[in-house]
Structure 1
Amino acid sequence: MLIFFDTETTGVETSDRICAVGMVEENSPYYELIHPGRKIPPAASAIHQITNEMLKDAPAFADSNSCRRLKELNAESNVLISHNAPFDIAMLIKEGLQWKGEIIDTLKCAKALMDDLDGYSLQFLRYELRLYREEEEFFASFGAGITPHHPLSDALHVKMLYTYLLDLADHEKLVEISQSHVLLNRLPFGKYAKRRIEEIALKDPGYLKWMLESLVDMDEDLRYSIEHFLREVP
């Protein structure tokens, strides 16, 4: 079974927790608010529109229907599909749930299969790939509204993105990409944004070395790519 999945959280730090879950099991949509056991800071609420008042009577993750259902689905035969899957998987691990099945990360797959785009966030891809042209009818078929950063809405956009990616690679290839490092060709930000990393490694390797030393939370694929091209420098 394919499970399209998204979480909203209190933030991105080690101490942050899930405050909402959205998922689509094949054609069955599901959404639930979760009490995270801590306050949601305004910066997080500004993104996903979830407030502390909304969570007053919500269950803790361990007591939630989301937890029960994920445990029922947690089998090697099922596939969890998410945009930036390592983040969502890490959040589940904090709640004591280690996913046993295959994982597809649509963010990593998009980077690997379309390396010339200006961005790879779910909302950027929604417009770059023109998913919006079919989303109204698609969302209506699930009885859901289009609300960016709402976990069910995002899970449905992940489903649309997965279908798009299947035109570029088959399911097995998407699983393979999700399990490996992606060699990025262009730097996504900084003074050399959109320039080829190979070119920067030849002309200004010191800048790339500075990035490796200074940006401790750098995307793992970007770090892998910079290290790869620096090793290739004669």
Structure 2
Amino acid sequence: MRSVRVIDLETTGGQPSAHGVCEIGWQDVAQDDNGVWQVTPGRGNLLTHPGRSIPPVTAAVHHIIDSDVADSPLFADVASGVLRGPHVALAAHRASFEGKWCTPRLTGGLPWICTWKCALRVWPGAPSFSNQVLRYWRMPEGLDRDLGLPVHRAGPDAYVTAHHLRDMLSVAPVEQLIAWSAEPGLLPRVPAGPNRGKNWRDLDDACLAALAADRDEDVRFSARTEVARRGGAPVAVPVPAQPRLF
């Protein structure tokens, strides 16, 4: 039986060099005997000591404070036990963020599925692609609202993401989700600027060429994909980095 472990982290900030992990949550999605992907009872969360104080600006998001983690283990001491296992992949919404701390040394080199990047492909008509907007736009079958609360806590957020992943796996194989996740995000619409909200197909060639040289790798990739669709140069795929929120 194949499984994917969905991971969510709560941290003191955005950079491992300056910030640490204060909570890790997980939720498994696995194939049943009929090959159908299901959200399983395999879930949990652990508070971890980030190795520094939790600033008020991040405590205000996840509501974890220093006293909550004072006696908790360091993330590095428990992460492998959560991340390694008989899984075909790990998954996260915006997996590039979790990947900053969940390094190959801790994961055993498991591939990642980014449910944000996959949502761009599977549900291009969504009003937004955040975990929670997708939750209320899609209303996934079987999602227990209480188990998905509070938001911005590692266990509930992983639980919500797992329902998106389960439904993605009903329309695309796990290998395809891994492949999409290894590329920049294919944005269905222009995310910013004077053409914000427009479909790439609606842009003229000059505008498209300008966006194909944009600083944002997701914008570049999306514009170049449209150029290639029109019969232009093939798409060059840069090394993925953390995409920006839109």
TM-score by length of 1: 0.78
Matches within 5 A, 1:159-198: 159-198=162-201
Q: 1:67 to 1:170 in 2, by over 3 A?
A: closer
Question: How has the CA–CA distance of structure 1 residues 197 and 41 changed in structure 2, closer, same or farther, with 3 Å as cutoff?
Answer: farther
3-state secondary structure, aligned to 2:100: helix
From the superposition, tell whether residues 223 and 9 of structure 1 become closer, same or farther in structure 2 (CA, over 3 Å). Answer: farther
Please, which runs of 5 or more residues in structure 2 have no aligned partner?
A: 29-39, 234-246
Task: Name the residue aligned to 2:20.
Answer: 17
Q: Shift of residue 80 of structure 1?
A: 0.8
For structure 1, the residue ranges without an aligned partner over 5 or more in a row are: none
| Counterpart for residue 95 of structure 2 | 85
Matched, 1:62 2:70: no
Amino acid in the other structure paired with 1:152 = G
**Equivalent residues of 2:208, 2:223 under 8 A apart:** no
- Correspondence for 2:243: none
In structure 1, the residue matched to 2:59 is 45
Q: Which amino acid aligns with 1:68?
A: G
* Cα 1:225/1:32, change in 2 over 3 Å: same
**1:28: how far off?**
1.9
User: How far, CA to CA, are the matches of 1:81 and 1:12 in structure 2?
Assistant: 18
Aligned residue for 2:142, secondary structure, equals: helix
Where in structure 2 are the equivalents of 1:104-183 lying within 5 Å? 104-131=113-140, 134-136=142-144, 144=147, 146-183=149-186
User: Take 2:76 and 2:156, find their aligned partners in 1: how far apart are those partners?
Assistant: 23
Identity, in percent, stands at: 27
Measure how far apart 1:112 and its partner are.
Answer: 1.2
The range that moved more, 114-123 or 161-170, is 161-170
Q: Would you say the 8 A contact 1:187–1:195 is kept in 2?
A: yes
Displacement of 1:187: 1.1
1:84–1:108 contact (8 Å) kept in structure 2: yes
Mapped contact 2:121–2:186 kept (Cα < 8 A): yes
The amino acid across from 1:58 in the alignment is S
Instruction: State how far apart, in whole Å, the 2-side matches of 1:104 and 1:203 are.
Output: 34
Is residue 148–residue 157 contact of structure 2 (8 Å, CA) maintained in 1? Answer: no
Q: 2:220 is matched by which residue type in structure 1?
A: R
Count of residues in Structure 1 that have an aligned counterpart in Structure 2: 217
Distance between the aligned counterparts of 1:184 and 1:99, measured in 2? Answer: 30
Q: Distance in 1 between matches of 2:176 and 2:182?
A: 10
Q: 1:78 to 1:228 in 2, by over 3 A?
A: closer
Q: Distance in 2 between matches of 1:226 and 1:124?
A: 25
Corresponding letter in the other structure for 1:161: H
Distance 1:37 1:135, change over 3 A: same
How many Å separate the matches in 1 of 2:204 and 2:150? 41
2-side partners of 1:201 and 1:86: how far apart? 32
C-alpha RMSD over aligned residues: 2.9
d(CA) in 1 for partners of 2:69, 2:8? 18
CA 52–127 in structure 1, closer or farther in 2 if over 3 Å, else same: same
Name whichever of 11-20 and 49-58 sits farther off. Answer: 11-20
State the TM-score, normalizing by the size of structure 2. 0.75
Whichever structure has more helix as a proportion of its residues is 1
Tell me the amino acid that sits aligned with residue 176 of structure 1.
Answer: A
Q: Partner amino acid for 1:51?
A: I
Would you say the 8 A contact 2:117–2:186 is kept in 1? no
Q: 1:47 to 1:191 in 2, by over 3 A?
A: farther
